[in-house]
Amino acid sequence: MSVRRSGYCAIVGRPNVGKSTLINDLIGQKLAITSHKPQTTRHSIRGIKTLPEGQIVYVDTPGIHQRGDQPLNRYLNRAARSAMVDVDAILFVVEALHWTAEDEAVLESVIGATASKILVVNKIDTVKDKAELLPFIAELNQRCPFLETVPVSALKGDNTGLLERQILERLPEGERLFPEDQLTDRSERFFASELIREQLTRRFSKEIPYALTVEIEGFEDREGLYRINALIWVEKAGQKNIIVGRKGESLKAVARQSRIEMEKFFGTRVYLEVWVKVKKSWSSDEKALTYLGYGG
């Protein structure tokens, strides 16, 4: 009988390098919301991949960034850095041939961590001459003793199977940490709020992506029908007007697409009601952040 390995693997990097796309591909199902806007991910999400050889518990994290010192920004950075504690492996995700001050900040945290470190060079599908990757990879491996370097395209699934095998080899021997059929440790309420926020971020990416959040006020399972009541928080009346739109059309479009995505995700019919509420400076209010789940 082969040795079984199980453990935790944190996925870290600056915003917009493709961490959420990567965890969705590795798990084989959408868990993390995605958009082209940086800082779409706001919470650490555990995704559980059960294999015949063991179990990998992936921890997706917000992008570590240098965009101000507001309470919400501090929470995002704290959540990402704390995910590197008490894990068995760390995937440091970078964008092929792109390096920024924020990448540098993440690398400093990765160097200080004790877990096994794997460098993941993402978005290789955007590089025409793959030979250009070699000096880029060599430079990063001089900076940090990565055990492995795996170039991937998370969007297309290129090389992610190889990455999974490399991760599994770095985990300790042991039995599964979660039941075989468990996919995540997050609740359905959490994913309902995230699926709505995904549609809002995609639709209003230029206007108000950072000034909104979603609270699920009601979630009922009525034998094959989920009744969900959601509240969108924004910081200004003008932002509310943008989301609601002329005659409520924008809000209706967000609710309609969110419901479609929820029915795909939950595998059941969904009845969704959505409202918008103004809460001035909620992202700078420690009490509001804690109430909305940005805390701990």
Question: pLDDT tens, 193-249?
Answer: 999 999 999 998 777 767 789 999 999 999 889 999 999 999 999 999 999 999 999
Two tokens, residue 160: 């992610």
Question: What's the burial of 26, exposed, middle or buried (CB within 10 Å: 0-12/13-18/19+)?
Answer: buried
Angle, CA 93 vertex, CA 7 and CA 104 arms, to 5°? 120
Q: What is the pLDDT of residue 170?
A: 95
Q: Is the C-alpha dihedral spanning 106, 212, 295, 58 positive or negative?
A: negative
47-61 burial code (b ≥16 CB/10 A, e <16)? bbbbeebbbbbbbbb
Query: Side by side, which strands form the sheet with 116-122?
Result: 45-51, 54-60, 5-12, 89-95, 116-122, 148-151
Here the tokens at position 232 are 């969108």
pTM of the model: 0.89
Q: DSSP 3-state assignment of 235?
A: coil
Local confidence band at 1 (pLDDT 50, 70, 90 cut-offs): very low
Q: Name the nearest CA neighbour of 280 among 237, 228, 244.
A: 237
Reduced to 3 states (helix: H, G, I; strand: E, B; else coil), residue 217 is strand
Total residue count of the chain as it appears in this document: 296
Average pLDDT rounded to a whole number, residues 88-117: 95
pLDDT range class, residue 131, cuts 50, 70, 90:
very high
pLDDT band at 37 (very low <50, low <70, confident <90, very high): low
- 45-51 and 225-234 beta bridge pairing: unpaired
Question: What confidence tier does 277 reach under pLDDT thresholds 50, 70, 90?
Answer: very high
Quote the pLDDT of residue 181: 92
Burial tier of 38 (Cβ tally within 10 Å: 0-12, 13-18, 19+)? middle
Share the mean pLDDT of the chain. Answer: 91
Spatial distance between the Cα atoms of 171 and 7, rounded to a whole number of angstroms:
5
Percent of the chain at pLDDT exceeding 70? 96
On the question of pLDDT at 296 being above 60, the answer is: no
In sequence order, what are the residues at sequence separation of 6 or more whose Cβ sits closer than 8 angstroms to the Cβ of residue 280?
Answer: 235, 236
Residue 179 is predicted with a pLDDT of 94
What are the structural domains, with CATH classification, of the chain?
5-169 (3.40.50.300), 188-291 (3.30.300.20)
Structure token digits, residue 296: 């701990």
Instruction: State the Rg of the chain over Cα.
Output: 20
CA 294/CA 33 separation, integer angstroms: 17
Within 8 A by CB and 6+ apart from 111, the residues are 143, 144
Give 61-90 pLDDT, tens digit per residue: 887 776 656 777 787 788 888 889 889 999
DSSP-derived 3-state class of residue 129: coil
- Give the least confident one: 37-46, 96-105, 185-194, 226-235: 37-46
